[in-house]
Homo-oligomer: A and B are copies of this chain.
């Protein structure tokens, strides 16, 4: 591998000169610059990033921890983080925590080993005190979800309010027996969505019936299974709010498989507005999260922490959007 000393030798200067010319566009006298740049070109020299990082103590890399790679919302966010990071000369390392025994360990290893300058965690699932401890020592930003009254910088929508809004929409157009299908994972965000669902019911004078709340996998398979369980229970219901679009899709498929028409016989709503939401049959009524903005703001927050501009920061709440399509039946 060609290194800086090779370039220096060819150009007839010291390594220090090469280094400075490469990192400072206005350094050295023109003649020297030319020589060095020519040598760099001829030898196809590329600085060894490892050595540079060891020396400068910064990697210009941030890590994004995602609970899984297959969530449309998540990779919209990731993509946006990447865009913003690139604009600031940073690289993004994507860590897929799915199936990872201990996510927390993953966090700590990478940053403690100085391989990254900061962490963005998409819907962190680690215990609160642990996250706070990490945030105490290293730049950390939470996206999509975070603990309440917690001073770790975060960007998210108000999941509770959004869930309340979509449930209230169902009530407004006449539904009374509304079920809720959610993920059995203990992500706070699902708790918040459940809580918003419950609040909407109470506000509407409808008692919350635990027998109408189902928990399972947060995937299409999960939605399918939970809906079948709900149907098998014999309980009556005329609408279902799902804690995610994938769950809603599975649930609708289960309904259709029994010949139950959506939304005529049962309205269904989702959450997240994933790519397929408008193309599904029926198109999904759902909540749209401002994925792009979330990613961008998350990176910018992290960036300012890395640059030591600020350590803590109040959480940023972004506006969500209630997207009404056909699956809730309001158009009929």
Contacts and interface: CB of A to CB of B under 8 A. Distances in A.
Interface of A: 1, 46-51, 53-54, 59, 69-70, 72, 75-76, 78-79, 82-83, 92-94, 96, 98-99, 108-109, 112-115, 219-220, 224, 246, 249-250, 252-253, 256, 275-276, 278-281
A-B residue pairs, 10 tightest by C-beta: A49-B113, A69-B75, A94-B94, A253-B279, A46-B112, A50-B54, A281-B281, A220-B279, A49-B115, A48-B114
Nearest to A93: B93
A113 B48 contact: yes
A227 to B, nearest CB: 11
A270 to B, nearest CB: 13
B83 A75 contact: no
Copies of this protein in the complex: 2
Given A49-B115, A53-B50, A99-B83, A250 B279 contact: yes
A282 to B, nearest CB: 9
A246 B250 CA distance: 17
Nearest to A44: B112
B279 A224 contact: yes
Contacts of A115: 49-50
A16 to B, nearest CB: 19
Contacts of A279: 220, 224, 249-250, 252-253
A121 to B, nearest CB: 16
Given A75-B70, A79-B69, A220 B276 contact: yes
Nearest to A254: B279
A82 B79 CA distance: 19
A280 B72 CA distance: 17
A275 B46 contact: no
B78 A96 contact: yes
Contact of A249 (B92, B220, B276): B276
Nearest to A51: B54
Contacts of A278: 253
Given A46-B108, A69-B79, 16 more contacts: A1-B114, A47-B113, A48-B113, A49-B113, A49-B114, A50-B50, A50-B113, A54-B54, A69-B75, A70-B72, A70-B76, A93-B93, A220-B276, A256-B281, A280-B280, A280-B281
A70 B78 CA distance: 10
A146 B261 CA distance: 45
B79 A98 contact: yes
Contact of A281 (B76, B78, B253): B253
Contacts of A220: 275-276, 279
